[in-house]
Amino acid sequence: MGFSDCGIAEADAIDEDEYPLDEWLSRGCQADMHYMERNVAMRRDPRLLVDGARSVISLVLAYKPDCQIESKAKIAQYAYGEDYHERLKRMMYQLIAKIKYKYPDFEGRPFVDTAPISDRHWAVRAGLGWIGRNTLFVHPYYGSFCFLGEIVTISEIENTKLKIEDSGKGCGDCRLCVEACPNNAITVSKSGVPMLDARRCTSYNTIENRDDALPEELDTRGYAFGCDICQLVCPYNGQSPTSYHLDDERKTQLERLAGADEATFRRFAKHSALNRIKYPQWCRNLRKASEPRGGDRKTET
């Protein structure tokens, strides 16, 4: 179907030590993403999402582009191409159809960041990689430039597991992402699990934050949609292969968005990840991106 990798995990509950969601919420790290406060139990246990679930098929689609846009208004690379929700969902339905052709009794529900299920943790459970210090899922070959999706099924399928600590992989002592974040958004839980404070994160603020103005102290380093800073410094991403060709026409369209009127922006964003924001937010983000770069900040953990 075109996926980069896949794995399978048993559908059971994820505990607080593995996924410190309660602590993350109690700290207020969700900012205004109040939907994260709902269905907490379901986020931990796919059996509450799909009745009778026995297996979670985790799918990876790498998206590292072969070039970056040249613009004063930077855009996170995951938004260069087609909206990943549409692309992955289409691919997963095709995969389900192929499986059902061979196994007619197979039933599965696809999820792409649109339901209360933790993509990162199920990719780890399936042995595909680990959660990096930047809180993102890291694949040992493709790095963190990966889209994730799941097919939750009532079928019992042999699991795939990889013990990162036994494979020589993982972040080790590397702290490049922590040190590179200009807003000190990367922290840790009480048990040492990587944790992101959305209130400080450029990606959260340029996408999820609906206020008329962004926080005065926020340093976006020129990003007007999302942020890739913690990913660009990651050694795994530095050595990972490119997986997406950004053609000249698309590149030009992206670079011209900084000067686009509302109709042009809405037309381009319709089938792009940029459809997550409205034109007034885009203009707000552009104003912030044009501000002088902030000074170096002391790293916190």
Q: Which residue, among 202, 174, 189, has the nearest Cα to 73 in the 3D structure? A: 202
Give yes or no for a contact between 212 and 39, defined as CB atoms under 8 angstroms apart: no
Cα distance between residue 282 and residue 287, in whole Å: 9
Quote the distance between the C-alpha of residue 181 and its chain's center: 16
Of 113, 173, 219, 248, the active-site residue reads 113
113 a catalytic residue: yes
Total count of residues recorded for the chain: 301
> What residues act catalytically?
113
